[in-house]
Amino acid sequence: MNAKAPGFDDLVAAIERAHAALADQAAKAVNVSLTLRNWMIGHYIQTYEQSGADRARYGERLLDTLAQRLQQGGLKRVEARELRRFRQFYLAYPQIRETLSPESGNQLFPLAIRQTLSAQWPVADMREASPESSMAETPSSPPANAGRLLLERLSFSHFAELLQCVDPLQRTFYETEALRGNWSVRELKRQIASQYFERCGVSTDKTTLATLAQAGAEPASRRDLIRDPYVFEFLGLQPREVMSEGQLEDALLDKLQDFLLELGHVRPKFACSRCDTIVQANAPARPIARGLAGAGLLAHVLVAKYCDHLPLYRQSTIYAREGVELERSTLADWVGQCNTLLRPLVQALRKHVLSASKLHADDTPVPVLSPGEGQTRTGRLWTYVRDDGPAGDETPPAVWFAYSPNRRGEHPQRHLAHFKGVLQADAFAGFAPLYLGGTIQEAACWAHVRRKFYDLHKAQASPLAAEALKQIGMLYAVEESVRGKPPELRRAERQARAGPVLVALRAWLDVTLKQLSQKSALAEAIRYALTRWDALVRYSTNGRIEIDNNAAERALRTVALGRKNYLFAGSDAGGERAAAIYSLIGTAKLNGLDPEAYLRHVIGRIAEHPVNRVDELLPWKVELKVLAPEQKAA
């Protein structure tokens, strides 16, 4: 009897099986290559430290110097901290050597290194640990899991977590349990944090405990492996600068489980066997009175709204798809209460910003709903930036946002009523009264001047506009060479190099203006520069002043991006809340901090923090992970 011919469903199933199998194979191949590379880097470092010909030249600076050279060569994630981890990985897992075939060993290791390897580890009978075996009975000495099994089943991020276990017995315990349960990295971290090893050691029913630990464990998946940050760096992939809404939703859902775990707290209760007194740990303070939301969830809602531009109604919809009912009104109430909680910190930030001797200022429109009218009006967000880093000043940079229902000049005048120093801003007439008393000096923005000529050149290919751009470009070339130098050196360099360019540019503008129709767009651009000439050239005589106001425009960029995703602010109070959170997020970025990690840190502490010491929670005074340079605010 002839075999049944395959049908369409069989075709689909065959393709899906082939795809899954080969995708798993590709993911495992990437992981094995990355893990072997890191192990080998550790070996090279250890061998050099023991017998390198010029090792004494570098001493304790070896890893820092090596990291710098490797990064210059284009390698990613090879900071000194990571190099120490690779060396520790090499020392903790000698069985990885058994995975190297003679062919791969000959290709990857020089002869001298292969001889060193052979001398250090003669080939031994390495017994594979079965994934089904249990560590319920804690062994007295840790049998090593076979290297090939470890490479095929664990990512390097697993190893990074395991290396934090100083005790080899403890490390082997978690290795075997991770293999047996196919744990994800996050599950491994959770089990270590829950002290599963210690609980197993004192438990009388180890089998039941192991079953409970494995029952709800999160399994590892191919997706987790490919999204591993070590893999991204190893393959030379860059994180996206712009994320789609779908990607934002994925990020939110990935964190949902962690957030929900915040809703419960363990409060140990103890009883005295003699007096029958019962004591229980106090309940931790909640960021929001009688609220269930923890600091992590609140921080994520704020960052998703004000940094990642995901409106509250979209966040509510995303949570609902996962079976968590969080109404938009609930999220809005959380945002309002967080604003009240953080208000003293924002005031401390405002005080720091306005105590500067030089500020960048700008504003941007924000649509605001008019109650009862069914339409919007235009409010304003004002930004004031303190950032003297380009002038070699180590004072922490910061940004303060303020909201106003309109663009009347009274608002910046009120904001800066007690400010004294240099104000770098655009030509908004509302700033003009601030310059009359002499306590505030005006510094204009060459970027605004350049933009007018650039738009003309782009639209009309004007040779006169091209000449203006050429001369302004010479000014910016000088700035590139003095960025980060002390004010006096900047002033001297500008006087010597930019001074003659400014004199020639002024003369050219005067002559050119006389040759043009006074109603032409080019004449208007020239008049814009000439009427502000004193403020434009002030930077050349003061090394603290910048050539442009780009610091303020960068601070407003996140607001401009947000306007594309939300329709309007619900009220003036909503605008004020936005200004407060933008201030904290923007300042965290300026200081190289992850804004969500910073807000989580602050929201979890500020309720019980003394209000007269609230400045201890400013971004530059807390100890948090610093972002990579490419992730910092520009």
CA–CA separation, 478 and 368 (whole Å): 42
- DSSP structure class, residue 543: T
* Contact of 160 with 85, CB cutoff 8 Å: yes
User: Among 153-157, 475-479, 496-500, which stretch is predicted with the lowest mean pLDDT?
Assistant: 153-157
Averaged over 225-244, what is the pLDDT? 52
CA–CA separation, 612 and 487 (whole Å): 34
pLDDT on residue 208: 59
**Which residue type occupies 55?**
R
What does the mean pLDDT of the chain come to? Answer: 80
**Which residue type occupies 301?**
V
Which residues are bridge partners to 368 per DSSP? 377, 569
pLDDT over 90 (residue 589)? yes
Rg of the Cα trace of the chain?
Answer: 31
Pairing mode, if any, of strands 358-370 and 375-386?
A: antiparallel
CA–CA separation, 154 and 260 (whole Å): 27
pLDDT band for position 135 (cuts 50, 70, 90): very low
DSSP characters over 219-235:
BP-HHHHHT-HHHHHHT
**Whose CA is closest to 381, among 553, 546, 550?**
553
pLDDT on residue 241: 42
CA–CA separation, 309 and 387 (whole Å): 25
CA dist 140 → 94, 145, 172, 201, 571 (Å)? 20, 15, 11, 11, 66
pLDDT over 60 (residue 259)? no
pLDDT band for position 130 (cuts 50, 70, 90): very low
Going 341 to 347 to 350 to 356, the CA torsion angle's sign is: negative
pLDDT on residue 50: 76
Averaged over 53-72, what is the pLDDT? 78
**Whose CA is closest to 179, among 214, 203, 143, 212?**
214
- DSSP structure class, residue 3: P
User: Among 34-43, 93-102, 545-554, which stretch is predicted with the lowest mean pLDDT?
Assistant: 93-102
CA–CA separation, 506 and 510 (whole Å): 6
Which residues are bridge partners to 369 per DSSP? 376
CA–CA separation, 5 and 120 (whole Å): 59
pLDDT on residue 626: 55
Position with higher pLDDT, 598 vs 24:
598
pLDDT over 90 (residue 396)? yes
Any alpha helices (H) in 483-549, and if so which ranges? 487-493, 499-514, 521-531, 533-537
CA–CA separation, 584 and 602 (whole Å): 10
Q: How many helices (H) and strands (E) does the chain have?
A: 29, 7
Calculate what percentage of the chain has a pLDDT beyond 90: 39
pLDDT over 50 (residue 240)? no
Residues 6+ apart with CB under 8 A from 178: 153, 154, 158, 162, 187, 188
Secondary element (H or E) of residue 424: strand 421-424
**Number of Cα atoms under 13 Å in the Cβ half of residue 453:** 20
Other Cβ atoms less than 10 A from the Cβ of 530: the count is: 13
DSSP characters over 581-616:
HHHHHHHHHHTTB-HHHHHHHHHTTGGGS-GGGGGG
**Whose CA is closest to 188, among 213, 158, 156, 229?**
158
Going 535 to 537 to 541 to 544, the CA torsion angle's sign is: positive
pLDDT on residue 15: 82
**Which residue type occupies 494?**
R
CA dist 77 → 28, 80, 143, 273 (Å)? 20, 9, 31, 55
Which residues are bridge partners to 382 per DSSP? 363, 402
pLDDT on residue 403: 94
pLDDT on residue 127: 34
Q: Rounded to the nearest 5°, which phi and psi values hold at 384?
A: -130, 120
Position with higher pLDDT, 113 vs 450:
450
pLDDT on residue 283: 65
Pairing mode, if any, of strands 278-280 and 269-271?
A: antiparallel
0.75 exceeded by pTM: no
CA–CA separation, 453 and 526 (whole Å): 9
pLDDT on residue 407: 92
CA–CA separation, 424 and 359 (whole Å): 6
pLDDT on residue 537: 95
pLDDT over 80 (residue 450)? yes
CA–CA separation, 32 and 154 (whole Å): 9
Position with higher pLDDT, 236 vs 454:
454
**Which residue type occupies 234?**
F
User: Among 423-427, 552-556, 628-632, which stretch is predicted with the lowest mean pLDDT?
Assistant: 628-632
Pairing mode, if any, of strands 440-443 and 358-370?
A: unpaired
The domain ranges of the chain are 9-233, 269-346+574-631, 356-427+552-571, 446-541
Averaged over 251-277, what is the pLDDT? 60
pLDDT on residue 425: 93
Tokens of 347: 């005031």
CA–CA separation, 229 and 217 (whole Å): 22
CA–CA separation, 319 and 315 (whole Å): 6
pLDDT over 90 (residue 620)? yes
Position with higher pLDDT, 619 vs 51:
619
User: Among 218-232, 237-251, 381-395, 574-588, which stretch is predicted with the lowest mean pLDDT?
Assistant: 237-251
Calculate what percentage of the chain has a pLDDT beyond 70: 76
Tokens of 628: 């990579």
User: Among 262-276, 527-541, 605-619, which stretch is predicted with the lowest mean pLDDT?
Assistant: 262-276
User: Among 23-32, 147-156, 300-309, which stretch is predicted with the lowest mean pLDDT?
Assistant: 23-32
User: Among 40-49, 209-218, 408-417, which stretch is predicted with the lowest mean pLDDT?
Assistant: 209-218
Which residues are bridge partners to 400 per DSSP? 384
pLDDT on residue 548: 94
CA–CA separation, 576 and 382 (whole Å): 11
Averaged over 324-337, what is the pLDDT? 89
DSSP characters over 70-112:
HHHTT--S--HHHHHHHHHHHHH-GGGGGG--HHHHHHHS-HH
pLDDT band for position 512 (cuts 50, 70, 90): very high
Torsion of CA 569, 572, 578, 583, to 10 degrees: 150
pLDDT on residue 546: 95
Averaged over 6-22, what is the pLDDT? 79
pLDDT on residue 134: 38
* Contact of 414 with 405, CB cutoff 8 Å: no
**Highest-confidence range of 232-246, 290-304, 482-496, by mean pLDDT?**
482-496
pLDDT over 90 (residue 140)? no
